[in-house]
Amino acid sequence: MTSKGGAAPSTYTPAPPPTYKAQRPPFFTDSDADWTRSDGRGFHQCRSAFFRTGAVNSAAGSAYAEFGNTKVIVSVFGPRESKKAMMYSDKGRLNCNVSYTTFATTVHGQGSDNKEFSTMLHKALEGAVMLETFPKTTVDVFALVLESGGSDLPVVISCASLALADAGIMMYDLVAGVSVSCLGRNLIIDPILEEESFQDGSLMITCMPSHYEVTQLTITGEWSTANLNEAMQLCLDACSKLAKIMRSCLEEAASASKD
């Protein structure tokens, strides 16, 4: 905030959002196929994913994920004793929290729906974690979105499952999350922020690819059955590919620590 007064033009808010309006029409013309995504990807092509475990030293486990401009860091603490006020439980508890840095979005401090994201993260993970392996205790999963570049929640979920694995928390499988946006007649996988801002509908799947089980699924907007099935299949395929990348990241980290 100290540099506020002397903000050089290069540090000023980048391309203002109003330009989206001007871009919108191409989706509805007949030449849908001519339109290319602003980052040059095909409609069914995900951003290249980058994962690294061990981002935070003091945490039991942590991971950093970068999908294009979406940058997320997740740390896992625990298991620790559950708070005294909590009732006895023969299963472990997950305590999930998602927060945005104040500079994550183009508008200062706009990272909204945190609470919703936190519950969604919890729901996506609870089916995959073997909660019965740490009774009476709580595992904290804290996610911080450093930069919001679209598809934040799926990235947070994938990154969190990697951090849990890094912390040595037992899970049935890694959880990979992918979202698809519906724009006009097109299905666009792994949407970036500007694509998300004018989407007609969105679908997010988090799944355990080796189990072929969906842990969480949300749909907004209007969908026909054919579109829905296609989108679900797209997501599931992308999830299994994503999980391979996550797995190789874990293997890399394990072999590095052995040496």
Partner 1 sequence: MVGLSLGEKHFIQGGIDQNLRSDGRKRDAYRPISIETGVIPQANGSARIRIGATEVIASVKAELGRPNALQPDKGKVAIFVDCSPVAEPMFEGRGGEELSTELSVALQRCLMGGKSGAGAGIDLSSLIVAEGKICWDLYIDGLVISSDGNLLDALGAAIKAALSNTGIPRVQVAAGASGDEQPEVDISDEEFLQFDTSGVPVIVTLTKVGRHYIVDATSEEESQMSSAVSVSISRKGHICGLSKRGSAGLDPSVISDMISVARHISEQLINKLDSEISAAEADEDEM
Q: Is 128 in the site for partner 1 (CB under 8 A)?
A: yes
Contacting partner 1 (CB under 8 A), which of 151, 161, 179, 215? 215
Q: Is 222 in the site for partner 1 (CB under 8 A)?
A: yes
Q: Is 220 in the site for partner 1 (CB under 8 A)?
A: yes
Which of these ranges, 4-12, 46-54, 155-163, 221-229, lies near partner 1 under the rule CB under 8 A? 221-229
Distance between CA atoms of residues 190 and 151, nearest Å: 6
What residues pair up with 94 in beta bridges, in sequence order? 139
Helix axes 225-258, 152-166, angle to 10 degrees: 30
For residue 18, count other CB atoms closer than 10 A to its CB. 7
Q: Is 141 in the site for partner 1 (CB under 8 A)?
A: no
Contact 227, 234 (CB under 8 A): no
Q: Is 197 in the site for partner 1 (CB under 8 A)?
A: yes
Which of 62, 70 has the CB closer to partner 1?
Answer: 70
Q: How far is the CB of 59 from partner 1 (least distance, A)?
A: 24
For residue 193, count other CB atoms closer than 10 A to its CB. 19
Q: Is 3 in the site for partner 1 (CB under 8 A)?
A: no
Q: How far is the CB of 228 from partner 1 (least distance, A)?
A: 6
Phi, psi of 114 (to 5 degrees): -60, -45
Contacting partner 1 (CB under 8 A), which of 126, 140, 147, 230? 126
Contact 73, 64 (CB under 8 A): yes
Contacting partner 1 (CB under 8 A), which of 39, 81, 116, 252? 116
Contacting partner 1 (CB under 8 A), which of 121, 153, 178, 207? 207
Q: Which residue has the tokens 């999908």?
A: 67
Supply 219's token pair.
């749909």
Which of 35, 198 has the CB closer to partner 1?
Answer: 198
Contacting partner 1 (CB under 8 A), which of 108, 229, 244, 251? 229
Contacting partner 1 (CB under 8 A), which of 170, 217, 245, 250? 217
- Write the DSSP string, 229-245: HHHHHHHHHHHHHHHHH
Q: How far is the CB of 58 from partner 1 (least distance, A)?
A: 29
Contact 49, 65 (CB under 8 A): yes
Considering CB under 8 A, how many residues would be counted as binding partner 1? 37
Specify the DSSP class assigned to residue 110: -
Among candidate residues 234, 206, 245, the one with its CA nearest the CA of residue 43: 234
Contact 98, 114 (CB under 8 A): yes
Distance between CA atoms of residues 230 and 202, nearest Å: 13
Q: Is 212 in the site for partner 1 (CB under 8 A)?
A: yes
Which of 52, 230 has the CB closer to partner 1?
Answer: 230
Q: Is 17 in the site for partner 1 (CB under 8 A)?
A: yes
Q: Where along the sequence are the contacts to partner 1 (CB under 8 A)? A: 17, 115-116, 119, 123, 126-128, 182, 196-202, 207-208, 211-225, 228-229, 232, 236
